Structure 1
Amino acid sequence: MLNKAMIIGRLGREPELKYTQSGMPVTTLNIATDESYLDRDGNRVEKTEWHRVSVFQRAAENCAQYLSKGSLVYVEGRIQTRKWQDQQGQDRYSTDIVANTVRFLDKKGDRNSDDFAPQPAPKPKHNQEPMEDYGSPFPSEASDMDDTPF
């Protein structure tokens, strides 16, 4: 089975850092993604989706420290639905993304930039093997073809 979510969007409010009873940091991010399309009459229609994202451990503290409303982020994780009861005893449901990767795509204070500048990839941990090099993704570079027509 596969349960994976990947989004790129902007924070709609400041990150909310809390701690569990055991002391584990948890940050909640509210992220907006948007799309636009033309309707039958040729009018541009904007559509925004809001995503609630939960981030745990050290990543939660980093998000709370370095992100703010308007920050552009890439989030990868799994979708989780929780059931809870409101004050009237009615069952309510909440669908969140539980993040395992959060990449900051802009610098703090640089909210108006259109640049897509992802952070450098994290260094591999000591117990991880380095990624294998499969060579160039372009056939002309792999075969030393200098006269490729494109």
Structure 2
Amino acid sequence: MINNVVLVGRLTKDPELRYSSSNIPMIYFTLAVNRTFADQNGQRNADFVSCVVFRKQAENMARFLAKGSLIGVIGRIQTRNYQGKDGNMVYVTEVVADNIQYLESKSNTNRMQDNGFGSMSFNQQPQNNFSSFSGNTNNNNNTSMYDFMNDNSSFTDFGEDFPSNLDDDFMQDVVNPFKED
């Protein structure tokens, strides 16, 4: 079975390091992940995904990240349950993070928070800032990256990688197992 999750989003609050009963460092956190489509009003909503990370990555997260930090999470979906204080069963679905990538510097996160990003609604789009990836705050050098990302023709020519006899109907012989007869 495949159980892989890849998310990119922003932390909704400062990471708080805790320790399990067996003294393993851990952090429960929520990641705000923008949807790829807009609603009827043209707003892009966000999903708030519950995540947990353990051991050294949890310690590093507590040390280097803050509310609003842009991170990538690679992990898996896990469900668990426990008995709540009221005696009812509580069911939890969360992403267990196997790998966390910091996608911007802490100074850039702090700068964004100082400019009001920390109070920004997660369904708003921040301005593109490619300087965080290069460590360069001179926006003149980032133009080529921005042009490349917005150039739709960059991936239209695949050269001689595909056979010349391949036409648009190459899927016609594939049987749809879900089609009703």
Higher fraction of helix: 2
Q: What's 1:12 paired with?
A: 12
Q: Work out the CA distance in 1 between the residues paired with 2:58 and 2:4.
A: 19
Note closer, same or farther for the CA distance 1:118–1:11 as it changes in structure 2 (3 Å cut). Answer: farther
Q: What's 2:84 paired with?
A: 86
Does 1:117 pair with 2:133? yes
Higher fraction of strand: 1
Cα RMSD of the aligned pairs, angstroms, is 2.3
Between the two proteins, the alignment pairs up a number of residues equal to 119
Structure 2 gaps of 5+ residues are 113-127, 136-156, 160-181
Structure 1 gaps of 5+ residues are 120-137, 141-150
Q: Work out the CA distance in 2 between the residues paired with 1:118 and 1:82.
A: 40
Q: Work out the CA distance in 2 between the residues paired with 1:13 and 1:7.
A: 17
Q: What's 2:152 paired with?
A: none
Does 1:73 pair with 2:89? no
User: What is the TM-score when the length of structure 1 is the normalising length?
Assistant: 0.71
Q: What's 1:34 paired with?
A: 34
Shift >4 Å, 4+ stretches: none
Identity of aligned residues (%): 33
Note closer, same or farther for the CA distance 1:63–1:48 as it changes in structure 2 (3 Å cut). Answer: same
Which structure is larger by alpha-carbon Rg, 1 or 2? Answer: 2
Does the Cα contact within 8 Å between 1:103 and 1:118 map onto a contact in 2?
no
Note closer, same or farther for the CA distance 1:37–1:53 as it changes in structure 2 (3 Å cut). Answer: same
User: What is the TM-score when the length of structure 2 is the normalising length?
Assistant: 0.59
1:48-97 CA-to-partner distances (Å, cap 9, x unmatched) read: 11112111111110011001000000000010011122221112211111
Q: Work out the CA distance in 2 between the residues paired with 1:27 and 1:103.
A: 15
1:109-144 CA-to-partner distances (Å, cap 9, x unmatched) read: 31237226299xxxxxxxxxxxxxxxxxx987xxxx
Does the Cα contact within 8 Å between 2:39 and 2:45 map onto a contact in 1?
no
Does the Cα contact within 8 Å between 1:104 and 1:118 map onto a contact in 2?
no
Q: Matches of residues 110-149 of structure 1 in structure 2 within 5 Å?
A: 110-111=108-109, 112=112, 114-115=129-130, 117=133
Does the Cα contact within 8 Å between 2:24 and 2:55 map onto a contact in 1?
yes
1:10-65 CA-to-partner distances (Å, cap 9, x unmatched) read: 000011211122221112221100124152xxx30331111121111111100110
